[in-house]
């Protein structure tokens, strides 16, 4: 595996509060990594730093992409997305009044550039691009068993299916790295089991790197190859699922007691 994302000494201060403290970590190509920790550990803040939602106070984030090495520190979220980093959010952020298909098509527009004149005058290239996008979107939806609901409004989907659509939308940008922020939040056991299978299939089918924040430890232990543990903004441990389960410092952070 080659190193795909390198994070060095990352710090984020909000006034007198240090939300992320001197975090150094890496993600390899084509691996599934989990980021876990108690509530308030700084996991989502770290995600926001890595995806350009907020800027770090110090430290560096560097992507070793297919076309070279790219520092991400001063880039906007949309610029980082174009470089191949895509994410879902803890709170679902679909366009609720739009159809399943349109939610995916909107995400794909960053990859399909059609000139202003062509769009206004509806040149043949405009219709060709429109057709290609729709075909690609439906093909992707079919993988996730959503191709029969293309005209359904996102707000009318069951909660678990909305989560699935959000993952499809993130994948439609063809990312190198997919960040999933608590995808099982609010799901019942059956939905969580379906999601577990889906995450494994996504990583294998698309050959991408996945970084997952999740509180459901049964899901994490089933899907993760490596795990980072964050506590009070600092990295507490890193290792395989078995190593993390047996780590006394991790047990203490979660349970408040020695192993």
8 Å CB contact between 93 and 167? no
Q: Provide φ and ψ at 27, rounded to 5°.
A: -125, 135
Of the candidates 38, 14, 34, 16, which has an alpha carbon nearest to the alpha carbon of residue 232?
38
8 Å CB contact between 211 and 27? yes
CATH node for 3-98+157-255: 3.40.50.300
Q: Which of 69-73, 111-115, 119-123, 226-230 has the highest mean pLDDT?
A: 226-230
Q: Where are the domains of the chain?
A: 3-98+157-255
| Choice between 124 and 226, residue whose per-residue pLDDT is larger | 226
pLDDT category at 12 given cuts 50, 70, 90 is very high
Helix (H, G, I), strand (E, B) or coil at 19: strand
CA–CA separation, 121 and 222 (whole Å)? 52
| Residue 233 confidence (pLDDT) above 90 | yes
Interval 93-144: pLDDT, tens: 899 999 999 999 998 876 655 544 454 555 566 667 788 889 999 999 998 8
Of the candidates 93, 6, 89, which has an alpha carbon nearest to the alpha carbon of residue 47?
89
CA–CA separation, 253 and 255 (whole Å)? 6
- Quick one: DSSP state of residue 155? G
Locate 184 and state its tokens.
């099982």
């Amino acid at each position: 595996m080659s190193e795909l994302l390198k994070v060095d000494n990352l710090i984020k201060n909000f006034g007198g509060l240090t939300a992320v403290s001197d975090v150094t970590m890496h993600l390899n190509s084509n691996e599934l990594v989990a980021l876990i920790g108690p509530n308030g550990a700084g996991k989502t803040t770290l995600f926001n730093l890595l995806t350009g939602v907020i800027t770090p106070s110090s430290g560096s984030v560097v992507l070793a992409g297919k076309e070279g090495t790219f520092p991400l520190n001063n880039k906007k979220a949309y610029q980082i997305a174009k470089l191949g980093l895509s994410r879902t959010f803890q709170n679902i952020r679909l366009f609720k009044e739009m159809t399943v298909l349109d939610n995916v098509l909107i995400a794909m527009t960053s990859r399909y550039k059609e000139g202003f004149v062509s769009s206004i005058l509806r040149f043949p290239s405009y219709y060709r691009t429109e057709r290609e996008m729709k075909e690609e979107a439906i093909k992707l939806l079919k993988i996730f068993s959503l191709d029969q609901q293309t005209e359904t409004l996102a707000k009318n989907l069951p909660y678990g299916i909305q989560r699935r659509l959000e993952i499809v939308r993130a994948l439609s940008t063809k990312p190198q790295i997919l960040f999933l922020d608590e995808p099982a939040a609010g799901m019942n056991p059956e939905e969580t089991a379906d999601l577990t299978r889906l995450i494994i299939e996504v990583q294998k089918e698309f050959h991408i790197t996945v970084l997952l924040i999740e509180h459901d430890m049964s899901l994490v232990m089933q899907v993760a190859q490596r795990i980072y543990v964050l506590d009070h903004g600092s990295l507490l441990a890193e290792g395989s699922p078995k190593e993390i389960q047996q780590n006394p410092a991790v047990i203490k952070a979660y349970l408040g007691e020695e192993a």
